[in-house]
Amino acid sequence: MLKDQETLESPSVARRFVDGCGRTISYLRLSVTDRCDLRCRYCMSERPDFLPKSDVLTLEELYRVACLFVAHGIETIRITGGEPLVRKNLMDLLRPLGDMLKAREGYSSLKALTLTSNGTQLERYAEDLFSCGIRRVNVSLDSLDEKVFSHLTRGGSLGLVLAGIDAALRAGLKVKINCVALDGVNVDTPEVDRLLAWCGERGCDLTFIEVMPMGDIGNEKRLQQFYPLTELRRSISQRWTLEKSSHRSGGPARYVRCLETGKNIGFISPLTENFCDGCTRVRVTCTGMLYPCLGQESGANLRKLLRNPQSDGRADAALSDRIASVVLKKTRGHDFVIDSSNRASVSRTMNATGG
Ligand code: SAM
Ligand code: SF4
């Protein structure tokens, strides 16, 4: 069990982290591992080099990072990876984070604790997540066709993921489905319509994501994978009634409401439409790298400061100063480009960044 930190007892929120464009940072994506039980072709190579275990932050260190951000006014923490549910004893981190939600009034800025998962372990952990205070999860589901799913994930079981989603819904979790649009794989009309209807039947919102040129993915070619969401949206709107929606999630997604299903459809389209302007997110990886932007190479290593044997107060002040100076460099937009060179725009893969 993690010991309580000073932050829980402190009712005041320290200065908020503000970037160079004047945006107040309100959302932290905290990656707890780069490991995963799937090998999605757009995310990593078949035999990825995972980060050295000695560099991976302990649950206590991750909790300390989270507390520090909460002390500076962060309102949402999304736990991610790699696959977060393969991290051993993850609930020992989530429980005290959930306690910060309960202790919110007057004590903590934290309003939501969420998680992104591939769903394979949800059947086992859905109830635990709910009891830790999590109410919403995002689950990646790129195809409802067993063969396509298995090919895309290099051997993953669709049945396991669907059972995980059902378990999450039964446990009372709201589930949003994430689907990476992949040319020639999952963007044809029957496949898209099936996913839209399936989400509607289960009361799930659905967000499509453009593939992003991140890291070495072996023999796979980004240009071949890429499918523009402007095109997908146009095609969906020919068959479904889409209404403008003002729904926002603090990131680059834009939403419409599908009248037939009554659910939101999100589009994260960094390549065809850049909606970085209102982004108030930052990411901390499982090794303590702070990235102010998903699509920029620059970041800063917090691990040394986290492992500095100074007394907690001084070390936390040094960490806060470091974070504030890095956040200040958050730029207005990303550096993603997909072209025939098939070069990655940033060298780290998504699983190592915390997607
Ligand atoms: N393992 C969990 C999952 O798959 O949901 C959480 C981590 S995963 C890196 C987070 C999200 O990033 C998933 O929705 C996944 O589909 C997406 N993703 C991974 N690599 C991507 C890429 N190169 N471009 C766009 N999205 C990507
Ligand atoms: Fe694993 Fe998620 Fe990457 Fe797929 S997208 S390989 S599930 S981390």
C-alpha 355 – ligand 2 centre gap (Å): 9
The answer as to whether 335 is a domain residue is: yes
Q: What pLDDT, on the 0 to 100 scale, is given for residue 301?
A: 95
Percent of the chain with pLDDT over 90: 72
- Helices 189-202 and 229-237 cross at an angle (nearest 10°) of 70
Q: 319: closest CA among 352, 353, 290?
A: 290
CB atoms within 10 A of CB 270: 22
The answer as to whether 304 is a domain residue is: yes
Ligand nearest to the CA of 29: 1
Is the CB of 283 within 6 Å of ligand 2?
A: no
Collapse the DSSP code of 273 into the 3-class scheme (helix H, G, I; strand E, B; otherwise coil) and give the result.
coil
Is the CB of 80 within 6 Å of ligand 1?
A: yes
Is the CB of 36 within 6 Å of ligand 1?
A: yes
The answer as to whether 1 is a domain residue is: no
Any bridge partners for residue 136, and if so which?
114, 174
> Is residue 17 a contact partner of residue 330, using CB atoms and an 8 Å limit?
no
Average pLDDT, the chain: 91
Query: Which DSSP letter does residue 316 get?
Result: H
Burial environment of residue 268 by CB neighbours within 10 A (0 to 12, 13 to 18, 19 or more): buried
Any bridge partners for residue 346, and if so which?
214
- C-alpha to C-alpha distances, 88 to 52, 84, 91, 153, 299, nearest whole angstrom: 16, 9, 9, 22, 27
* CA 255 remoteness from chain centre: 17
Query: Any idea what the CATH number is for the domain that residue 57 is in?
Result: 3.20.20.70
- Helices 91-102 and 122-131 cross at an angle (nearest 10°) of 30
d(CA 163, CA 110) in angstroms, rounded, equals: 30
| pTM score, whole prediction | 0.93
The answer as to whether 329 is a domain residue is: yes
Collapse the DSSP code of 85 into the 3-class scheme (helix H, G, I; strand E, B; otherwise coil) and give the result.
helix
Q: Whose CA is nearest to atom 10 of ligand 1?
A: 355
Give the chain's domain count.
1
The answer as to whether 157 is a domain residue is: yes
The model's confidence at residue 10, banded by pLDDT at 50, 70 and 90, is: very low
Is the CB of 118 within 6 Å of ligand 2?
A: yes
The answer as to whether 349 is a domain residue is: yes
Q: What pLDDT, on the 0 to 100 scale, is given for residue 1?
A: 46
Which residues, 6+ apart, have CB-to-CB distance to 259 below 8 Å?
240, 241, 242, 243
Q: What pLDDT, on the 0 to 100 scale, is given for residue 186?
A: 96
C-alpha 154 – ligand 1 centre gap (Å): 15
Residue 277 has pLDDT above 90, yes or no: no
Q: What pLDDT, on the 0 to 100 scale, is given for residue 104?
A: 62
Q: What pLDDT, on the 0 to 100 scale, is given for residue 275?
A: 74
Collapse the DSSP code of 208 into the 3-class scheme (helix H, G, I; strand E, B; otherwise coil) and give the result.
strand
The answer as to whether 117 is a domain residue is: yes
Position in ligand 2 atom list of the atom nearest CA 118 = 7
Is the CB of 211 within 6 Å of ligand 1?
A: yes
Is the CB of 179 within 6 Å of ligand 2?
A: no
pLDDT in tens, 31-80: 999 999 999 999 999 999 999 999 999 999 999 999 999 999 999 999 99
The answer as to whether 96 is a domain residue is: yes
Is the CB of 48 within 6 Å of ligand 1?
A: no
The model's confidence at residue 308, banded by pLDDT at 50, 70 and 90, is: confident
Is the CB of 86 within 6 Å of ligand 1?
A: no
Residue 152, domain extent: 6-353
Position in ligand 1 atom list of the atom nearest CA 353 = 9
C-alpha 149 – ligand 1 centre gap (Å): 14
